[in-house]
Amino acid sequence: MDAEKNESVNIYDIAEMANVSIATVSRVVNGSDKVSPATRRKVEEIIKEVGYKPNAFAKGLGLNTMHTVGILTPNVADAFMAAAVYYLEQEMRGYGYDCLLSCSGFQPEGKRNQLDLLLSKHVDALVLVGSTYAGSGKDSKETDYIREAAKKVPVFLINGSVRGRNVYVTVCDDTKAVRSVTESLIACGCKDILFMTDSRSYSANKKRSGYEEAMQKTGLPLRQELIRFVRNDIGFVREYLHREKPVFDAVVATEDGIAIGVLKYAADLGIRVPEELQIVGYNDSRMALACEPELSSIDNGLKMMCIETVRRLMDILQGRRADKKTVVPCQIIERGTTRFLKR
Amino acid sequence: MDAEKNESVNIYDIAEMANVSIATVSRVVNGSDKVSPATRRKVEEIIKEVGYKPNAFAKGLGLNTMHTVGILTPNVADAFMAAAVYYLEQEMRGYGYDCLLSCSGFQPEGKRNQLDLLLSKHVDALVLVGSTYAGSGKDSKETDYIREAAKKVPVFLINGSVRGRNVYVTVCDDTKAVRSVTESLIACGCKDILFMTDSRSYSANKKRSGYEEAMQKTGLPLRQELIRFVRNDIGFVREYLHREKPVFDAVVATEDGIAIGVLKYAADLGIRVPEELQIVGYNDSRMALACEPELSSIDNGLKMMCIETVRRLMDILQGRRADKKTVVPCQIIERGTTRFLKR
């Protein structure tokens, strides 16, 4: 079997150029008689024209693939990423696919190396979990490694947005969720709403935009001293607030761990939650149920993002078309630390 | 390169029979001149005698391996297992090894399939995380699939014990930890100590033994109504206790989630913790810091188990000998829900 000679052209490109599905290209390559003579001629002409040599994957497409999808995540000890891997595994198993996982860390070199490792194991597609893979959004070179991988197999991103051929994206509407929560807090009469985050990632920036949009929309001034960068660590946040003593009557945190640190600080000072202070976390983790009162939290729609990703991944692997970008809504789970929905 | 003809004999067997390291066998197979003529003769005789055909792995040992270790875990969404994967990754990376992870679920078929998947990706060794892989301990057939895999690559178990050639085990001393905690509670004057668990696994059984040993040692009767099987779910445990109304003055739980359910129940009834009720969780998870008061919890020595596993795995891959079984101590982290160490 020939190696892919013209590496810059793959089966997805041929399908796009011929305006047919990749299953059709696969049938032509494999000599199936389920293709009309006209379509066959068109596909064969394009293949000849661009010098495309089908690789083993294209030849075996849908017949004899490895039925294995590679999952890349920076750190599986993070509850969000671990849950994503869990949902992805479950979904893919339903389609008869196995998963291989690798952890890349947050550095460019690690990302590239682990992506290559997965490709070397002959996976049929890649799923990248976490907004770190989308880079800062400032320099498109940061994400060249993803477009490079997408020449070999389709690449799906969860919670990060990258443009490229054969690259598919599923994100949640973080901006809208934070804007909505912040507006609700303002409607409750909150004036000094802290926005606390541990990250400057694509996803964290979307959340921050939501906070800023709510301020603009309601005509409140955007005060930089209300935006705080902290560590996602209960003890750290608690001590940070004792040290910094900011004035605030509400908190929107980009992680549940940060929000619970605020809750602990409030308990230390006898500040009543939610009467005197309202707190909203993010990710609706198990910790949100462990604290007292239970934490209101934004459910980032992770499960739905994973289901949507796998559904489209299977569409692509089975030769159908799929949306390049899908946006999944977030949901606000109100519990004991807020009173904007309850009455 | 020949496939391994006599599949029941591998490089580790030859090393054991010749009483040399696998590195020495590898050197003989690869024609290295760093072996004494006498040793060479001995190894070659055994190889001939048993009809051993070195496989690609043995031929390339230490020179040209994939430098990839397969990790199998039932469910990576479990915080304990996710943390184990994280520690293992970090340690192996320090030795220049990559990891591939697969999730098997808890059913025998899934375990076998995912183990085969990892082997098909040419991993140099396997690490199985979680006591589920050791079965119930009642029927050795349950673990035949592990000994089968160990004919191909060395297999390391974390938190589960299985006997077999080329199988290595790292466990923590759960029995001792629970015995010690239970004895401390008895010394505090507790009489009705609930033991709450969600599992009948190897690890859960060890914990239960510790509880029972403490009762025996202190001459207290072993009352079956004090041993409760529940779900590892805060809300479930809280409702369970409201429904069942057991009489108790202390709880030893095999999961932090169970212990926090007890804490919530106590808050509902105005029972003061730790004055009227002492509670100990297990795994020292992030949740232990989220609740109020913070939860005393048994640290299962997970990080040390992972470090010990990787250290011995590298010994084996680099042709040295390693202990078949290592026992790591647990540590009791006392926080606000107990008062047996504090004064």
Residue B147: in which H helix or E strand, if any? helix B144-149
Topology adopted by domain A3-60: 434 Repressor (Amino-terminal Domain) (1.10.260)
> How close is the nearest chain A Cα to the Cα of B222, in Å?
31
Render pLDDT for A304-340 as a digit per residue (tens, 0 to 9): 999 999 999 999 998 889 999 999 999 999 999 999 8
In chain B, at which residue ranges do the beta strands (DSSP E only) sit?
68-73, 98-103, 125-129, 155-158, 167-172, 193-197, 227-229, 250-253, 278-282, 296-299, 325-328, 331-333
* Residue B61 confidence (pLDDT): 45
- Asked if residue B63 has pLDDT above 60, the reply is no
Common-topology check for domains A3-60 and A174-299+332-342: no
Mean pLDDT of B86-105: 88
- B110 neighbors B104 (Cβ within 8 angstroms): yes
Give the pLDDT band of residue B2 (cuts 50, 70, 90): very low
Give the pLDDT band of residue A27 (cuts 50, 70, 90): confident
Mean pLDDT of B214-224: 94
- Asked if residue A11 has pLDDT above 90, the reply is no
Q: Across the strands, what pairs with A72?
A: A102, A128
Q: Which residues of A touch B75 (CB under 8 A)?
A: 86
The half-sphere exposure of A145 on its side-chain side, counting CA atoms within 13 A, is 18
Q: Is A260 in the B-facing interface, judged by CB distances under 8 Å? A: yes
CATH top-level class of B174-299+332-342: alpha beta
- Asked if residue B203 has pLDDT above 60, the reply is yes
Partner B, chain A 131-170, Cβ-Cβ below 8 Å: none
Give the pLDDT band of residue A230 (cuts 50, 70, 90): very high
Mean pLDDT of A158-183: 95
- Asked if residue B65 has pLDDT above 90, the reply is no
Give the pLDDT band of residue A8 (cuts 50, 70, 90): low
* Residue A122 confidence (pLDDT): 82
> How close is the nearest chain B Cα to the Cα of A234, in Å?
7
- Asked if residue B64 has pLDDT above 50, the reply is no
Mean pLDDT of B240-254: 97
* Residue A48 confidence (pLDDT): 83
- Asked if residue B268 has pLDDT above 80, the reply is yes
Mean pLDDT of B145-168: 95
* Residue B295 confidence (pLDDT): 98
Between 2.60.40.10, 3.30.750.24, 3.40.50.2300, 3.40.50.150, what CATH number should domain B68-171+302-328 receive? 3.40.50.2300
Q: Is A99 in the B-facing interface, judged by CB distances under 8 Å? A: yes
Give the pLDDT band of residue A94 (cuts 50, 70, 90): confident
Using DSSP's 3-state secondary structure scheme, residue A102 falls into strand
**A·B CB contacts under 8 A:** 95
* Residue A2 confidence (pLDDT): 37
Which of the two residues, A214 and A139, has the higher pLDDT score? Answer: A214
* Residue A60 confidence (pLDDT): 44
Q: Which residues of B touch A89 (CB under 8 A)?
A: 76, 103
Mean pLDDT of B309-335: 94
* Residue A225 confidence (pLDDT): 96
| Contact assignment for B286 to A68 by CB distance below 8 Å | no
- Here the ipTM equals 0.72
- Asked if residue B62 has pLDDT above 50, the reply is no
Round to whole Å and give the CA distance between A101 and A29: 31
- Asked if residue A165 has pLDDT above 90, the reply is yes
Greatest mean pLDDT among A178-192, B49-63, B104-118 = A178-192
- B336 neighbors B272 (Cβ within 8 angstroms): no
Greatest mean pLDDT among A23-27, B83-87, B135-139 = B83-87
- Asked if residue B340 has pLDDT above 50, the reply is yes
Q: Which residues of B touch A264 (CB under 8 A)?
A: 292
* Residue A202 confidence (pLDDT): 79
Domain coordinates of chain A in residue numbers? 3-60, 68-171+302-328, 174-299+332-342
Query: Beta-carbon neighbour count of residue A130 at 10 Å?
Result: 23
Which of the two residues, B231 and A44, has the higher pLDDT score? Answer: B231
Mean pLDDT of B110-139: 89
Which of A65, A103, A126 is most worth mutating to test chain B (most B CB atoms within 10 A of its CB)? A103
Which of the two residues, A33 and A175, has the higher pLDDT score? Answer: A175
Nearest CA in chain B to A289: B234
Render pLDDT for A257-315 as a digit per residue (tens, 0 to 9): 999 999 999 999 999 999 999 999 999 988 999 999 999 999 999 999 999 999 999 99
Two tokens, residue A165: 């051929």
| Contact assignment for B103 to A99 by CB distance below 8 Å | yes
- Asked if residue A76 has pLDDT above 50, the reply is yes
CB proximity list for B241: less than 8 A, separation 6 or greater? B261, B262, B265
- Asked if residue B109 has pLDDT above 80, the reply is yes
How does A6-44 read in b/e, with b if 16+ C-beta sit within 10 Å?
A: eeebbbbbbbebbebbbbbbbbbbbeeeebeeebbebbe
Round to whole Å and give the CA distance between B238 and B271: 13
* Residue B7 confidence (pLDDT): 46
Mean pLDDT of B126-140: 88
Which of these, A130, A140, A262, lies nearest to A194 by C-alpha position?
Answer: A262
Which of the two residues, B118 and B1, has the higher pLDDT score? Answer: B118
The structure tokens 């906070």 sit at: A211
Give the pLDDT band of residue B98 (cuts 50, 70, 90): confident
Give the pLDDT band of residue A54 (cuts 50, 70, 90): low
Share of chain B above pLDDT 90, in %: 60
Using DSSP's 3-state secondary structure scheme, residue B260 falls into helix
> How does the average pLDDT of chain A come out, rounded?
88
| Contact assignment for B89 to A103 by CB distance below 8 Å | yes
Residue A156: in which H helix or E strand, if any? strand A155-158
Which of the two residues, B75 and B343, has the higher pLDDT score? Answer: B75
Which of the two residues, B122 and A311, has the higher pLDDT score? Answer: A311
* Residue A265 confidence (pLDDT): 98
Mean pLDDT of B194-203: 90
Give the pLDDT band of residue A6 (cuts 50, 70, 90): very low
- Asked if residue A343 has pLDDT above 70, the reply is no
Using DSSP's 3-state secondary structure scheme, residue A300 falls into coil
> How close is the nearest chain A Cα to the Cα of B31, in Å?
29
Residue length of chain A: 343
